[in-house]
């Protein structure tokens, strides 16, 4: 379930939530996935899009990997209400940053 569109901060411009995925996922309106190699055909804009999408996916995978290493709750599915899951994830991010900033890692 993807959340409804939300305005960018300080604007009235609604922007959809999307999930960054790789080519293994099906094409959906809420999924951003790279252009297949057969479609690129030397198109620089598509190559740049694929590169930036790949970087975004790697950054999110690395960030989640850091959380998984520190907080065992992410080793399995979280069995809780969606609004509680949002709070759990936000809390672990805050705790991670606090620990990192205070050199407790």
Q: What is the pLDDT of residues 61-105, one digit of tens each?
A: 999 898 999 898 998 989 999 889 989 999 999 999 898 888 755
Are 95 and 65 in a shared domain? no
Q: State the pLDDT confidence band at 37, using cuts at 50, 70 and 90.
A: confident
Domain enclosing residue 103, as ranges:
75-105
Q: What percent of the chain has pLDDT over 70?
A: 98
Are 6 and 53 in a shared domain? yes
Are 43 and 58 in a shared domain? yes
Are 46 and 96 in a shared domain? no
Average pLDDT, the chain: 91
Question: How long is the chain?
Answer: 105
What's the average model confidence in pLDDT over 50-71? 93
Is 47 buried (19+), middle (13-18) or exposed (0-12) by CB count in 10 A? middle
What's the average model confidence in pLDDT over 50-70? 93
Q: Cα–Cα distance between 68 and 74 in angstroms, integer?
A: 5
Residue linked to tokens 């709070």 = 87
Is 84 buried (19+), middle (13-18) or exposed (0-12) by CB count in 10 A? exposed
Instruction: Output the pTM of the full model.
Output: 0.73
């Amino acid at each position: 379930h993807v959340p409804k569109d939300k305005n960018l901060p300080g604007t009235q411009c609604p922007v959809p939530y999307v999930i960054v995925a790789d080519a293994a996922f099906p094409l959906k309106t809420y999924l951003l996935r790279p252009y297949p190699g057969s479609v690129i055909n030397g198109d620089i804009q598509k190559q740049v899009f694929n590169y930036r999408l790949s970087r975004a996916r790697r950054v999110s995978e690395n960030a989640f990997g850091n959380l998984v290493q520190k907080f065992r709750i992410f080793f399995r599915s979280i069995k809780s209400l969606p609004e509680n899951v949002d709070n759990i994830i936000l809390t672990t991010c805050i705790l991670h940053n606090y620990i990192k900033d205070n050199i407790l890692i």
